[in-house]
Amino acid sequence: MNKFIQIILVFALGLIPGCLVFAADNPDPDPDVLRVAILPDENASELIKVNQGLKVYLEDKLNKKIKLIVTTDYSSMIEAMRFKRLELAYFGALSYVMAKSKVDIEAFAAQMNKGSIMYHGVIIANKKSNIEKIEDIKGKNMAFGDPASTSSHLIPRALLLTNTSLDIDDYTPHYLGAHDAVAVNVQNGNADAGGLSKKIFEHLVERGIISLEKVKVIAVSSPFPNYPWTMQSYLNSELKEKIRKAFLEIRDPAILKPLKADGFLPVTDKDYEIVRKTRKLLSMD
């Protein structure tokens, strides 16, 4: 009897992966529920809380139930899109490029600030670290966010390499996951310097989380294309057009503020070619 049960279990377990693959290979192009992933750049529970306005807005505009999701990091968001556990995702520029190389998704709208879809990264330093310029980071502890982050990894690394020839082996990198964790750890002296989004840094200062008495900006990057909203290519064309239109028409400051945007402008994959080139420069492929 035990042997019979073992045979049945082995057979059943052997079928399950095939069923999962079948389900993933035949996703619903017009689902009743849209799973929407928000950029995992700050505390997850707080992100869900402050983006309820977006959820209500999209449910009204798309006539569908919206489930907001914050993944543990960029890599898990990429995998969730890859295995079709998400319909929409708000990526960073680098994580979008990485996701695009693995799954057929479409970038359709990017965060807009002051009329532009471009944004900047910054390198900050603790005022007690004796770092006056980015060259001084050599031999120091350098904090980054997620390895797949644009402004908290790609941009600061590129800044250091192209302006000072400092590569990853010339300082000690520490990956802390989120932008706010980078700023807080630099402020507390756990890291000498760190890289993050300029917009997020300013937001943390405005909220009183970071004090300019303890932290200073020592470098600002050249502009990079901003965070893109993306959707699965398999969604039907009518739904995709509704999604695109809904995001481009967001005007409510209460919805836009948590997304750190003044609005959204249309983008295509070509807008992110500079990110691919920078990734290649840093041998991050």
Angle at 208 between CA 205 and CA 209, to 5 degrees: 80
* CA dihedral sign, ordered 242, 26, 272, 122: positive
Q: What is the pLDDT of residue 16?
A: 42
pLDDT of the residue at 9: 40
User: Domains in the chain, please, with CATH?
Assistant: 33-115+226-273 (3.40.190.10), 121-222 (3.40.190.10)
The pLDDT score that the predictor gives to residue 4 is 40
Question: Which residue ranges in the chain fall short of pLDDT 70?
Answer: 1-24
Q: Which helix (H) or strand (E) holds 265?
A: strand 263-266
Strands annotated E in 83-197: 88-90, 105-112, 118-119, 121-126, 141-144, 172-175, 193-197
The one-letter amino acid code at 267 reads V
How far is it, in rounded angstroms, from Cα 96 to Cα 233? 14
Quick one: which of 261, 225, 39 has its CA closest to 146?
39
pLDDT tens, position by position, 14-71: 434 444 344 457 899 999 999 999 988 778 889 999 999 999 999 999 999 999 999 9
The pLDDT value recorded for residue 43 is 80
pLDDT at site 251: 97
pLDDT of residue 24: 59
Q: What local confidence, expressed as pLDDT, does residue 137 receive?
A: 98
